[in-house]
Structure 1
């Protein structure tokens, strides 16, 4: 292994969602993939992640080339919510609808 196994070749690897990881490994070389597979086996040893990593390594071994993907791309990061809140300005929940008045029968 060319690098210490305590440092995977992808920054923030441990916290990446699987979909993001699948995208990010496409930029790695065969050697980096082997390093990452060894790191994964020694640390989390997640079967679904190992399947993704070994599949990509096989693609590279069969002639695929690393891509120049954007390493900051996070497809599973949700966008910020849009719109307002139903909470009243006084923070007491939604305002009553219709003619209903709290405290009246």
Structure 2
């Protein structure tokens, strides 16, 4: 086994804070050595099965000919917020929905 990389030596500085769902897209820019560093670090520190599976799958894909994208995103994607708040207002919202208490009057198969 390779020497276990330290957190500061990882190719993704925010690795410890990445959700598993984002990890696959973040590692596409890494070569096999970079992904291997993350895998070694993960096995030594957290050994989370979903994370190791993502990393091992990427290593396998690289060995089968996948190419690194060349760009490693520097920060996790963030949700942008609109400064004006919600675009829905009483003027743009739909009519209130008040279903009948017994079935639907427009569906004769349901009792009234």
Q: TM-score range by the shorter chain?
A: 0.5 to 0.7
In the TM superposition, what whole-angstrom CA distance separates every residue of 1:30-58 from its partner, at most 9, and x where no partner exists?
A: 11111111100001111111111000000
The match for 2:44 is: 42
Moved over 6 A (4+): none
The runs of 5 or more residues in structure 1 that have no matched partner are: 86-105
Q: Is the 8 A contact 1:26 1:67 kept in 2?
A: yes
The runs of 5 or more residues in structure 2 that have no matched partner are: 87-112
Matches within 5 A, 1:80-95: 80=81, 83-84=84-85
Q: Distance in 1 between matches of 2:73 and 2:85?
A: 33
Q: CA RMSD in A?
A: 2.2
The match for 2:108 is: none
Counterpart secondary structure, 1:67: coil
How many residues in Structure 1 have an aligned counterpart in Structure 2?
A: 83
The match for 1:103 is: none
Q: Distance in 1 between matches of 2:83 and 2:60?
A: 42
| TM-score (structure 1 length as normaliser) | 0.66
- Measured after TM superposition, the shift of residue 70 of structure 1 is 4.9
| TM-score (structure 2 length as normaliser) | 0.62
